[in-house]
Homo-oligomer: A and B are copies of this chain.
């Protein structure tokens, strides 16, 4: 992870910005592959989070290595990842898009929550989905899948290395933001500026949406022409919060 600091101000702003807006801000900066498509939250009431990525990688399992015995080792990489992700960070798991088996189950996700992790994000499945859905903890995955990860996955030793998740590059320390739409990955060095510009974009879009709801056509309004921008600036000056 680079030594760029993510300030509290940036975190607060990001927490209020939709993943849709964030993808637009990143697209403006030339990045088009930042949204973890195809994931869903286990608990639709626990979706919002802002967190640095801490990564775990799975490769295909092999029958002679990946037996249930491996879990007797408390230093098994999957267990170690759960116990070492720093509080406030999100555990992101690379399952190579294999969705038919679990990447973790309710006991490990409960432990993540107890340890103060911010979220778990996987492009594979989760087992004990109903139990995880009952936790007040953001857990995004491809869906429910009962079989243990060992049937298809082997967790590699090296933790917190760059991975792919749902087709998107995730570097340790990248900033993930989750909402009801899904999860977006913000390269760490862009987090601060994206937070500022995204906040402004959303404020303006709230104003424009109100106009459209009031019957305005797109012409002149979306995107705003000079007149609408002036109106918006006046509205903003009249009292919208600056952050």
Contact (Cβ within 8 A) A33 B20: no
Chain B residues closer than 8 Å to A79, beta-carbon distance? 218, 222
Chain B residues closer than 8 Å to A105, beta-carbon distance? 20
Copies per complex of this chain = 6
Chain B residues closer than 8 Å to A146, beta-carbon distance? 18-20, 22-23, 35, 181-182, 184
- Total number of A residues with any Cβ neighbor in B under 8 Å: 84
Please measure, in the bound complex, the distance between the C-alpha atom of A64 and the C-alpha atom of B28, giving whole angstroms. 12
Nearest CB on B from A45, distance (A): 12
Nearest CB on B from A89, distance (A): 17
Contact (Cβ within 8 A) B164 A96: yes
Residue in B closest to A147 when the chains form the complex, CB atoms = B23
Contact (Cβ within 8 A) B110 A30: no
Given known pairs A35-B145, A35-B147, the reply for A83 and B180 (CB within 8 Å) is no
Residues of A near any B CB (own CB < 8 A):
18-20, 22-24, 27-35, 37-38, 59-65, 68, 71-72, 74, 79, 82-83, 96-97, 99-102, 105-108, 110-111, 114, 127-130, 144-148, 150-151, 154, 156, 158, 161-164, 167-170, 179-182, 184, 187, 205, 208-209, 212-213, 215, 217-220, 222-223
